[in-house]
Amino acid sequence: MIQKKNAMNDELIAIGYDATHIGQDRTGLASYGRTLLNGIAAIGRFELRVYGQSKSMQPMQSQLIRRENLLCTPWHTALEGTPWADRSKVKQLSADGVRLFHSLDGQLPRRLDQADIRIVVTVHDLIAMAHPEFYTPSEAKQFARRIQRVMAEADSIVASSECTKRDICQLADIDTRKVHVIYQSCSPRFTEEPTPSKMWQVRDKYVLPDRYILHVGKLDERKNVLQAVRALHYLPDDVSLVIVGRQTPYSDQLHDYVLQNRMHSRVQMLHNVPNDDLPPLYRMADCFVYPSRYEGFALPIVEAVSQGLPVVACTGSSLEEAGGPDNLYVAPDDEKALAHAITEVLFGAPGRQQRIERSQRYISRFETADMIQSYANLYQEILNA
């Protein structure tokens, strides 16, 4: 272990993470893990032991900044998904001197609570419990059973929003004193203005329409993107919709609707978009639309506001908490109201710029530095207890 002075002892305290997902996908969860690990490592108060499957080591390491106190280590087990794998992981964490394990995604090796290791669990949402209709009965039941166990074993639970904290306390019957809200922050790339040449490159690459509204996110029924497509019927003919997300059965449904309604000239779906292309896609849009029925925390809204876009989203979960009072929110089943709200924020709409500026001041509460400091303080508090 790296020998450096620490306020508590003569060496850095080891914090463990399973960060397999960082190298496997481009979701908000991966962005959250990458931003957190790079930020915690930078402050130098802890040694970070970052674990993952052997095949994920190289892509995971490519997402993390090289630092002497950040060590990427493969799990020493080929029995993933079995009770023996969990026992092997607990043994490995103990052997590596890990004092605290932080679950970034609500997953936790069984029997970790029986080791001399403190536990922090981040819960991003309880959608499978709040809205089981978006899952198969077995998926909803399995999620509820797993997350209840994980939260019961944790020393502290971090909720991604006040909305998620309410769900944890009400749906999972967890003592509110055990739950802390620490907001996620978006990647630093979204706080920087893309260069004109990069924006032209992205516009040419995807053959973007002259005027468009944008949606970014996973494409499934809960995200409710079809409402944004339907809203186009009530918007000016020169306004298009660009949808960014990986191809799914739901995206196939969107494609079918577009063809049946002869809207192919106004709807463009982009799959497998590199992260570096996202800021220009945001920056060149008229506005951002996010009609999701339910979210634990809507990071794409924060990304959009950071890039200078007004947002139109839906009521009923954490979207208003993410976007603040100066963006617009409508019922998730009202495409006419969605279209009307969009017209209120398009280029040329009265008060558009003031709305954007107030929203940017609002999202300053989601600064990366604040998130990192909050987690570092929580780690120290638990270790000192």
Give just the sign of the alpha carbon dihedral 157, 103, 122, 148.
Answer: negative
Q: How many domains does the chain have?
A: 2
Residue 91 lies in a domain: yes
User: 196 in helix, strand or coil?
Assistant: helix
Nearest to 285 by CA among 224, 216, 341, 225: 216
| 7 located within any domain | no
Separation CA 142–CA 53 (nearest Å): 23
Sheet arrangement for strand 240-244: 267-270, 240-244, 212-216, 287-290, 311-314, 328-330
Give a yes or no: residue 48 inside a domain: yes
**194 and 312 inside one domain:** yes
**DSSP letter string over 155-171?**
SEEEESSHHHHHHHHHH
> In the prediction, which pLDDT does 26 show?
62
Same-domain status, 221 and 276: yes
Q: Would you give the end-to-end CA distance of the chain in angstroms?
A: 23
What residue type is assigned to position 253 of the chain? Q
Domain range enclosing 202? 188-365
Instruction: Check residue 9 and give its pLDDT.
Output: 42
Identify the CATH number of the domain in which residue 141 sits.
3.40.50.2000
Give the per-residue pLDDT at 11.
82
Place of tokens 């043994």: 91
At 138 the pLDDT is: 96
Round to whole Å and give the CA distance between 2 and 15. Answer: 13
pLDDT under 50 in the chain at which residues?
Answer: 1-9
Phi and psi at 239, nearest 5°, equal: -100, 125
Domain for residue 4, yes or no? no
Residues 241, 267: one domain? yes
Which structure tokens are listed for 85? Answer: 């794998």
Within a domain: residue 3? no
Cα separation, 224 vs 213, whole angstroms: 15
Predicted local confidence at residue 7, as pLDDT: 42
Structure tokens at 195: 């260069």
**Residue 268 to residue 211: CA distance in whole angstroms:** 12
Q: Is residue 5 part of a domain?
A: no
299 and 373 part of one domain: no
One domain for residues 311 and 375: no
Q: Could you give the angle at which helices 28-43 and 299-306 cross, rounded to 10 degrees?
A: 70
Distance between CA atoms of 307 and 19, rounded to whole angstroms? Answer: 28
CA distances from 56 to 19, 20, 34, 72, 281 (A): 9, 6, 14, 10, 29
Same domain, 32 and 179: yes
Whole-number Å distance between alpha carbons of 48 and 42: 10
Domain co-membership, 129 together with 229: no
**Same-domain status, 195 and 151:** no
Are residues 196 and 179 both part of a single domain?
Answer: no
**Shared-domain flag, residues 151 and 242:** no
* Helix-helix angle 368-384:28-43, to 10 degrees: 70
Residue 78 confidence (pLDDT): 64
211, 297: one domain? yes
Cβ distance 48 to 68 under 8 Å?
no
**Do 97 and 178 have their domain in common?**
yes
